[in-house]
Chain A
């Protein structure tokens, strides 16, 4: 029996505006509770929302980046429900006439294929505040700093067929919004939140009943939550049960999910056009103006990296994935003058070190210029690739430039042929048996035997002898 998973996503993206969507309050993260919540955000009587031009611009930039239809006109509506972190009693959002229409995002999958994920639409709306349920003696504490923060909610078609596809799409989307500079991409701070609609069906059958797992704020949680929910639904059906349409919450700490208490009444948000806000009209000239400001997007960047730097498509896709990564990589290339080495170090040692320390690239203790300068020293023969790993470790833990570390630790590669010759002579003199064996061996056995000598010489030079020169001199001495 083969089951097919069907996944659609709704993604809330916090826009990187300085102020809220309908008020002049700051949106800076991490302020003291309620210090960035003005009368408008608090819904005091007599207030009037005025739309933030920058929020509109950012939403439109997203639309242009996904090749979407941009309707001439869009309308804000009220979505009515009661919750203490929503002081107005309704969320101002869009429904029938969203600012961004249908578009698409192409996703590169691990097997080398490309899949097109259709975007149904994206709309502008306001975020709610935050409720804190602990520590207030039977009451809940409400912080409205986040209330009114501009969001775009991006809604996909149910085009994804596995957790891997969904995560690949999510990462691509993250790359697009950060490259556009419309979102800071800080998922741990809730800047991008994913709601996942999941259903399973027998291959070719009609769509099954879906559940929605809400508010996933990391790629890892998203993957875990999808796999868990797919397993659960298949178990339910195979045990003769039926999947119930419901909203679920995933707990990343316990790796479990639970159903949110089912609402007494069916969702009825009684949407209607917001009388406080007029229709938003987008002029063609404005769209043309914005188009001219579109930055190089991940897809274009990836292609350029392949052509300009001779990278593999895979390496290029990793390095072009987001703005921080691609900028860092290109700075390393500039400083080092070697794109291939730069790519290897960024994808390899640097990424591994970041992972070990659970750091984002933006928090790397080794800057792009530091890394680039070190790679330049590999390229000009000052240090070997092996010694470079040592230099990198020191740079990571203690800081400093590659040149300083090489100088201070005496790691400079020995390229003085006289000095290398002396070490080679010493090793040969100390190993008469091995020399005899080598000279008595057939051509095909010799390269392997050479390894013994190279190892001894590198050890004697503390890894600093230029490997190429060691090989040349050694061969000459052994065979000459």
Chain B
């Protein structure tokens, strides 16, 4: 499986990562290497083996439906760049 430079640009855009010219070429090569490794893995015969959703052979533990988190808005908003009326302010987004 190969990866094109254009696909890396697209992925970078989706991940909101800015890649300059030299990083873009380097990243394309690195990803191509990773994909080559995956090709090797995919060549292994996995007949009869269940796909793994998680490396730990355990199941999810559940918590009881009880409120345990108090209101800590003041503490949590102390690290926010901008707040007003209890809201976090962010650059305007319109759908």
A residues in contact (CB < 8 Å) with B = 17-19, 23-26, 32-40, 42, 44, 50-56, 75, 80, 82-84, 97, 131-133, 136, 138-144, 249, 260-261, 265, 268, 270, 273, 275, 277-281
Contacts and interface: CB of A to CB of B under 8 A. Distances in A.
B80 to A, nearest CB: 9
Interface residues of B, number: 38
B10 A265 contact: yes
Contact of A35 (B16, B59, B73, B85): B73
B53 A136 contact: no
A136 B14 contact: no
A243 B10 CA distance: 27
B92 A139 contact: yes
A271 B11 CA distance: 13
Contacts of A44: 76
Interface string B76-95: 11000010111111111111
A278 B59 contact: yes
Contacts of A268: 10, 14
B60 A270 contact: no
B21 interface: no
A272 to B, nearest CB: 10
A406 to B, nearest CB: 48
B35 to A, nearest CB: 15
Contacts of A18: 65-67
B58 interface: yes
B22 interface: no
A97 to B, nearest CB: 8
Nearest to B52: A273
Contacts of B18: none
Contact of B86 (A32, A39, A53, A138): A32
Contact of B14 (A140, A265, A280): A265
Nearest to A58: B65
Contacts of A80: 14-15
A5 B63 CA distance: 44
Contact of B90 (A17, A84, A260, A275): A84
Given A141-B89, A142-B89, A280-B59, A19 B67 contact: yes
B54 A53 contact: no
B84 A54 contact: no
Given A24-B69, A142-B88, A265-B10, A131 B54 contact: no
